[in-house]
Amino acid sequence: MTALDMSVTNTSSDSIQYVTVLIGGQLFGLPISQVHDVFVPESVTRVPLSAPEVAGVLNLRGRIVTAINMRRRLHLPPLKEGHMMAVGIEYKHESYGLMIDSVGEVLNLPASSAEPNPSNLDKRWAEISGGVHRLDGKLMVILDVARLLGAMFTEPMVAA
Amino acid sequence: MDDLLREFITETNESLDVVDVELVKFEQEPNNATILNNIFRLVHTIKGTCGFLGLPRLEGIAHAAETLMGKFREGVPVTPDAVSLILSSIDRIKDIINELEQLEGEEPAGDDSDLIAELVLMSTSADAPAPVEEVVEEVAEPEPERALRPGEVSLDELERAFRETEVEVETAEPEIVEAPVAQPEPAVAAAPAKEASKPVEAAQPEKAEASEKKSPSVSNQSIRVAVDTLEHLMTMVSELVLTRNQLLEIVRRHEDSEFKVPLQRLSNVTAELQEGVMATRMQPIGNAWQKLPRIVRDLGQELDKPIELEMIGAETELDRQVLEMIKDPLTHMVRNSADHGLEMPAERRAAGKHDKGTITLAAYHEGGHIIIEVRDDGKGLDVERIKSKVIERGLATEAEVEKMSDAQIHKYIFAAGFSTAAQVTSVSGRGVGMDVVRNNIELIGGTVDLRSTQGKGTSFIIKIPLTLAIVSTLIVEAAGDRFAIPQLSVVELVRVQMNSDHRIERIKDTPVLRLRNKLLPLVHLSQLLGIYEGEDVEKAIDDDNGFIVVMQVGSQTFGVVVDGVFHTEEIVVKPMSTMLRNLTMFSGNTILGDGSVIMIIDPNGVASAMASHASSSVSEQIEEEAEEANRKAMNHNSTISLLLFRAGAPEPKAVPLSLVTRLEEFEVSKIERSNGRDLVQYRGALMPLVYVNSGDQHKLEGTQPMLVFSDSGRSMGLVVDEIVDIVEDRMNIEVGSDRPGILGSAIVKERATEILDLGFYLPQAFEDWFMRKEMDIQALTKTVLFVDDSSFFRNMLSPVLKAAGYDVTTCNSAGEALELLENGAKFHAVVSDIEMPQINGFEFCEALRRDPRFRNMPVLALSAMVTPASIERGRQAGFDDYVAKFDRPGLIAALKDVFSGEMGVAA
């Protein structure tokens, strides 16, 4: 952790801390400032007639949270075994839970090392990705929460 | 703006509302000194405070108004003009105060001398002595700290004023909870001297003393609390209720828990706390009604019709949030009733009603809801007018409208932008904004329904929950998920079982339930929500198991089938996330006692889904009907009832059932022979028998079946061997016939069948069957042109017309008929088929009507399709009458009508 601490102190002004999550084998990063909690979603009540990626609603310590199935959002096949995890975020004063495969670690990455989305990235991915970080041996896609959820607001409107 | 001024504005507004109501009351009872004193006191307070705060404009108006009221106190007769003037001064004061609020305490510039001059003129024209006014003015002035004018008050007067004020205090009691509405002056009076925070107790020591004799003053027991504080308290209590529910659920699972007793106590305390907090939010509905008497009075004057406003149950309490939401809809409805519901006095007299129209507002509790009724004894809704509007606006087709009950028609006034008002008045157009009314009420989970009786009046019934914060719901299960249905809209629960009285039946694939005397449309909740997991959605409703939640939304009643019903639970509605708010089926969600989240069904969403479901099948059905009609028109024939029989030969014969008067069987022994022909005695006359083939014989034993044809008192019996069947079939004569008595052959029930020509047989019974009337009324014989493309009908109906004494010419197309007419053939009337190729009957008639020569010629339509819509279409095309093809008496009668009408006109 010393290396990490170092980097925090050195580049705190222009570096961002990310919580990494795994969805369908791909590493994603969420800015830590947006993540309120990490929890195991239990007794999710499905919401009929809602958008397919809405997994349902659940009670998180007295708050009603709308759970989004990220695998479905990214057009990935559903998780076959094991429990999904969820990352609690807040968007426009409402609570959402992003259901993911597993939570990784916290990384501190310089904002400058982020690269724009490759032009050949799947459109459905590109619309929720805020760029890519090159890590050792793997790539981390930055999840842009505002775009991820914002797109879902308009979608049902169009459908309706 | 300083606190003092803010306080002043709030309280003055409240006082003015009271003054409004009291003035209207006063106008009706000019001799009621209590009311007058009350008004006087309020206005006086305003005047005094204005002077103190340095608001000269307000003071000037208030002073002039007060002077005029002083005259009333001295016994000057009260005139409506004077009251109107005072009311308009009150309005002016209100306006100024509104501006004052917006300008942050700056009194707006303006000139009120016109109003003041009028007030002064009115006062001076009253013949009371001037000096008394001064005295009166000071009567209710209790505080020496105020800006006083010199004057004296006798002890007697002072005490009397207090005693009267006391009475007022008691009646105003319910309003005290939030604000001491009826007693604004103490707070204002005390404000300059003391802190605004506890104005009431300190306000009027004298008054408190005066009232102590009877009961402790209510004002001593109330404080002002900011609404926000209450709201926050309510939210916290809601959370507490939720947590309590959760705890109870946990304890329920552990049988011998030591928590049980303390939790029970907690539960009780929570319930009480909840009730208590709710009570602080409760206000009498009368608060929402306060402005109505004034509105009704003004409307009455403006429209020149006397209106009485009756208010029942003004003390009924409901949540202030709900109260705010229904204020505007209620006002709107009352205005509507006054303007359009009630007739003008002359009209009312003609209808045998009292000159004065009555609008009744009634409020009462029913279950966990409050029912508010707005009723007028006016003329009721004009169903015909609504119908034509509905059709005009394309909300429904004529055919649909014809099928609707009055109640269904009435509902259309809630449709968006719907107005049946003949002209737009300054007040309102009946229906303008009724959709807004409905929306506002539905927004708070309420429903609005209406009943109207033509000539008797209309009543709107609003059903709203007592509070929005906590809703009592029924927890049900569908497709493995639980849902909460607000009890407000649940009428009853029905258990479905194969053998029970309540059985699900199906019309085509539509499930319905016979419930007492009504058919209830059913839909499965999982089907509505699209979560049915089986293969065939139609089978979602298990005939042998399940519960039906009978729901009522407005006047729409339907059954929602669910797999299970658990219990009822009081829940705190939490708004859904914005992402899910577009789902109309749900009004919110909440956390249940067991900690899981449940979706709350929105009854209005379900109702509209039911309606659209139904209307889609209706439109489908209408399309089918239209297609059917088209097909009929294409084939130039339609299905008719045919009587199949055998006579003289094994092959079947047929005759249109509608031409047959009766089917009879006679004992063979009854058949007599006279004058070389067979006869039976039938209904006191001799009926000749006719055989299909000459030379046929009747049976020798047993009974002889026969078809009886009657016309104008004469009957003929057509002897047949056997009556086979009655079938509905299309009649298409495929092969014509040269044989007399047979029109041709058609395929009926997949067999070649001979169609009998009655025109051939009728004269066999009575040779003069077609002749006699012609001879009788030779001079009056009318020529009729009969147009029909089907030879069958030409052959079938021309004898009928001839039998009725008309000289009939037939044409097989409209084109031929037009040519005939063009060539100068003269006819007294035209009878035309509708479904014809090239030129159909409607076009034919329109063509005739365009020609001035034929504009007044009677034209009758004859059609196999007789629906209200086609009749209307026919009327528009210019037909004088519209007759069903097989309605022979109808045709004859219609012809008679047009001729007698024509003769009447000629005479």
CA of B596, closest CA in chain A: separation in Å?
Answer: 6
pLDDT for B773: 45
Distance CA B803, CA B457 (A): 52
Query: Going by C-beta distance under 8 Å and a sequence separation of 6 or more, which residues neighbour residue B292?
Result: B309, B311, B330, B331, B334, B361
How many whole angstroms from its chain centre is CA B56?
51
State the sign of the Cα–Cα–Cα–Cα dihedral B370, B374, B380, B385: negative
Amino acid A116: pLDDT: 87
Where do we find the tokens 């009351």?
B25
- CA B469 vs. chain centroid, Å, equals 29
A96: closest CA of chain B, how far (Å)? 9
Distance CA B599, CA A64 (A): 11
The residue of chain B nearest to residue A53, with distances taken between CA atoms, is B579
Contact A48 B239 (CB under 8 A): no
- Report which of residues B140 and A145 the model is more confident about: A145
Residue A26 lies in a domain: no
State the pLDDT confidence band at B214, using cuts at 50, 70 and 90: very low
Based on the fold, state whether residues B402 and B368 are members of the same structural domain. yes
How would residue B529 be classed by pLDDT, with cut points 50, 70 and 90?
A: confident
Going by pLDDT thresholds of 50, 70 and 90, the confidence category of residue B29 is confident
DSSP B854: G
Residue B887 belongs to domain with CATH number: 3.40.50.2300
For residue B793, CA distances in Å to B213, B222, B654, B736, B898 come to 98, 89, 14, 13, 22
Q: How far is CA B721 from CA B411, B689, B737, B903, in A?
A: 57, 13, 22, 47
B797 has a pLDDT exceeding 80: no
Which pairing describes strands B677-682 and B639-646: parallel, antiparallel, or unpaired?
A: unpaired
- For chain B, the distance separating the N- and C-terminal CA atoms, rounded to the nearest angstrom, is 86
Cβ contact A49–B481 (<8 Å) = no
Q: Taking CA atoms, what residue in B is nearest to A63?
A: B591
Please state, as a whole number, how many other Cβ atoms lie within 10 Å of the Cβ of residue B545.
13
Chain B residues within 8 Å of chain A (Cβ atoms) = 239, 242-243, 481-482, 529-531, 574, 576-580, 582-583, 585-586, 589-591, 595-599
Query: What residues of chain B lie within 8 A of the CB of A92, using their CB?
Result: 578
Closest alpha carbon within chain A to B531: A48
Residue A128 has pLDDT above 90, yes or no: no
User: What tokens does B516 get?
Assistant: 């007492």
> How many beta-carbon contacts under 8 Å exist across A and B?
74
Position B664 scores a pLDDT of 81
> Of all helices (H) and strands (E), which one includes residue B643?
strand B639-646
Does residue B494 register a pLDDT over 90?
Answer: no
In degrees to the nearest 10, what's the CA dihedral of B891, B897, B902, B904? 170
Q: Which of B529, B597, B601, B612 to mutate to test the interface with A (most CBs of A within 10 A)?
A: B597
Here the tokens at position B414 are 């809630």
- Three-class HEC string of B208-245: HHHHHCCCCCHHHHCCCCCHHHHHHHHHHHHHHHHHHH
> What integer pLDDT is reported at residue B792 of this predicted model?
67
Please give the model's pTM, rounded to 2 decimal places.
0.45
User: What are B364's strand-pairing partners?
Assistant: B371
Query: Which of A47, A65, A149 to mutate against chain B (most B CBs within 10 Å)?
Result: A47
* Partner-chain contact B577 A64, CB within 8 Å: yes
Task: Look at the alpha carbons of A64, A65, A67, A68 in this order and tell me if their dihedral is positive or negative.
Answer: positive
Q: Is residue A18 part of a domain?
A: no
For residue A43, what are the domain limits? 35-106
Q: How far away is chain B from the Cα of A43, in angstroms, using its nearest Cα?
A: 6
Tell me whether residue B619 is in a domain.
no
Q: Closest residue of B to A43, CA-based?
A: B596
- Residue B632 in any domain: the answer is no
Question: What ipTM score was computed for the predicted complex, to two decimals?
Answer: 0.82
User: Coil, strand or helix: which one is B306?
Assistant: coil
Cβ of A157 and B582 within 8 Å? Answer: yes
pLDDT surpassing 50 at residue A74: yes
* A50: nearest CB among B481, B583, B598: B583
What does the angle CA B832 – CA B834 – CA B836 come to, to the nearest 5 degrees? 100
What are the helix (H) ranges across B804-867?
814-822, 841-850
Interchain proximity A43–B239, CB inside 8 Å = no
Number of domains into which chain A is organized: 1
**Secondary structure letter of residue B126 according to DSSP:** S
The CATH number of the domain where A53 resides is what? 2.40.50.180
Angle between helices B56-73 and B80-102 (to 10 degrees): 160
Q: What is the pLDDT of residue B501?
A: 67
How confident is the prediction for chain B on average, in pLDDT?
74
The CA-based angle A105-A108-A112, given to 5 degrees, is 135
Q: What average pLDDT does the segment B531-539 reach?
A: 66
Among B266, B281, B296, identify where a domain stops: B281
Cα→Cα distances B376→B47, B297, B425, B581, Å: 39, 15, 19, 38
Which chain B residues are Cβ-neighbours of A146 within 8 angstroms?
A: none
- Whether B262 shows a pLDDT value over 80: the answer reads yes
Same domain, B786 and B719: no
Q: Residue B529: its chain A contacts at CB < 8 A?
A: 48-49
CB-CB under 8 Å, A156 with B529: no
DSSP string spanning B150-186? Answer: S----HHHHHHHHHHHHHHHHHTGGGGGT--TT-HHH
**How many whole angstroms separate alpha carbon B557 and alpha carbon B550?**
7
Q: How far is B7 from chain A (nearest CA, A)?
A: 35
CA-CA distance, B4 to A147, in Å (whole number)? 50
pLDDT band, residue B738 (cuts 50/70/90)? low
A78: in domain? yes
Q: Which residues from A are below 8 Å from B when comparing CB atoms?
A: 43, 45-51, 54, 56-59, 62, 64, 66, 92, 94-96, 149, 152-153, 156-157, 160
B597 and B735 co-located in one domain = no
Say whether B583 and A49 touch across the interface (CB within 8 A).
Answer: yes
At B571, which CATH number? 2.40.50.180
Residue B526: CB atoms within 10 A of its CB come to 24
Q: How many domains does chain B have?
A: 6
pLDDT bracket for residue B467 (50, 70, 90): low
Q: Choose from B242, B526, B579 for mutation: most chain A CBs within 10 A.
A: B579
Whether B628 is in a domain gets the answer: no
Evaluate whether residue B620 is within a structural domain: no
Residue A147 lies in a domain: no
- B395 and B310 co-located in one domain: yes
Of A59, A62, A94, the CB nearest to B578: A94
CB atoms within 10 A of CB B131: 8
CA of B34, closest CA in chain A: separation in Å?
55
Residue B450 φ/ψ, nearest 5 degrees: -140, 150
Tell me which residue in A58, A62, A153 faces B579 most closely, judged by beta carbons: A153
Whether residue B876 is contained in a domain is answered as yes
B393 or B139, which is more confident: B393
Identify the pLDDT of residue A57: 93
Q: Per-residue confidence at B539, pLDDT binned at 50, 70, 90? A: low
For residue B884, what are the β-bridge partners?
Answer: B863
pLDDT in the model for residue B213? 42
| β-bridge partners, B646 | B722
Which residue has tokens 């009555």? B358
Residue B347 near residue B379 (C-beta atoms within 8 A): yes
Tokens of A4: 């990490």
Percent of chain B's residues with pLDDT above 90: 2
In a domain, B627, yes or no: no
- Determine how many CB atoms are found less than 10 A away from the CB of residue B111: 8
CB atoms A64 and B582 under 8 Å: no
Instruction: Closest CB to B578: pick one of A47, A64, A92.
Output: A92
Q: Which of A48, A56, A160 faces B582 most closely, judged by CB atoms? A: A160
Lowest mean pLDDT among A140-149, B139-148, B806-815: B139-148
Q: Name the band, by pLDDT with cuts 50, 70 and 90, for residue B483.
A: very high
pLDDT band at residue B537 using 50, 70 and 90 as cut-offs: low
Smallest CA–CA distance from B595 into chain A, residue: A59
Q: Are residues B396 and B501 in the same domain?
A: no
Higher pLDDT, residue A141 or B413: A141
CA distance B519 to chain A (A): 28
What pLDDT was estimated at residue B140?
A: 41
Question: If you average pLDDT over residues B642-654, what whole number do you get?
Answer: 83
**Would the CB atoms of A160 and B579 count as touching at under 8 Å?**
no
Give the closest-approach CA distance of A66 to chain B in angstroms: 7
pLDDT band (50, 70, 90) for residue B688: confident
| Nearby residues of B364 by Cβ (< 8 Å), 6 or more positions away | B312, B313, B316, B370, B371
Does B778 lie in the same domain as B673? no
Taking an 8 Å cut-off on Cβ atoms, the answer to whether B579 and A149 are in contact is yes
How sure is the predictor about A28, in pLDDT bands with cuts at 50, 70 and 90?
Answer: very high
**Pair of tokens at residue B247:** 């705890």
Tell me, yes or no, whether B329 and B215 share the same domain.
no
Nearest to B814 by CA among B793, B841, B795: B841
Residue B485 — pLDDT band, cuts 50, 70, 90? very high
pLDDT at res. B181: 41
DSSP B651-663: S-EEEEGGG--EE
Chain A CB contacts of B481 below 8 Å = 45-46, 48
From B412, B447, B465, the end of a domain falls on B465
Average pLDDT score over residue span A93-115: 88
Residues of B whose CB is below 8 A from A59? 591, 595-597
| Cβ contact, residue pair B599, A47, below 8 Å | yes
Q: How far is B591 from chain A (nearest CA, A)?
A: 7
Partners of A47 on chain B (C-beta within 8 Å) are: 580, 583, 586, 599
Chosen domain end from B731, B765, B799: B765
What are the helix (H) ranges across B254-319? 260-281, 286-289, 292-303
| Shared domain check, B666 and B607 | no
Higher pLDDT: B493 or B752? It is: B493
Confidence (pLDDT) at B614: 55
Give how far Cα A16 sits from Cα of A8, A91, B323, Å: 9, 19, 51
Which residues in B751-850 belong to E strands, given as ranges?
A: 751-756, 782-787, 806-811, 829-833
Q: Which of A48, A64, A156 sits opposite B597 (nearest CB)?
A: A64
Q: Would the pLDDT of B679 be above 80?
A: yes
- Give rounded-to-5 percent helix, strand, coil for chain B: 45, 25, 30
* A50, A51, A59 ranked by CB distance to B595: nearest: A59
Of B46-50, B381-385, B530-534, give the range with the top mean pLDDT: B381-385
The answer to whether the Cβ–Cβ distance between A160 and B597 falls below 8 Å is no
CA angle (B2, B6, B11) in 5-degree steps: 150
Helix axes B56-73, B113-125, angle to 10 degrees: 20
CATH number at residue B333: 3.30.565.10
Q: What is the pLDDT of residue B685?
A: 78
Structural domain contains residue A63: yes
Q: What is the mean pLDDT of residues B260-281?
A: 85
Residue B98 in any domain: the answer is: yes
Contact across the interface for B599 and A96, Cβ inside 8 Å: no
Judged by CB atoms closer than 8 Å, whether chains meet at A64 and B583 is answered as no
Average pLDDT estimate for B190-211: 41
Q: Which residue has the higher pLDDT, B804 or A155?
A: B804
Burial of A35 (C-beta count, 10 Å sphere; 0-12/13-18/19+): buried
pLDDT exceeding 70 applies to what percent of chain B?
A: 76
Which of A48, A59, A64 lies at the smallest CB-CB distance from B530? A48
CATH number at residue B274: 1.10.287.560
Interface touch A43/B574, C-beta < 8 Å: no
Domain that holds residue B748: 639-765
B448 and B484, same domain (yes or no): no
pLDDT of residue B770: 53
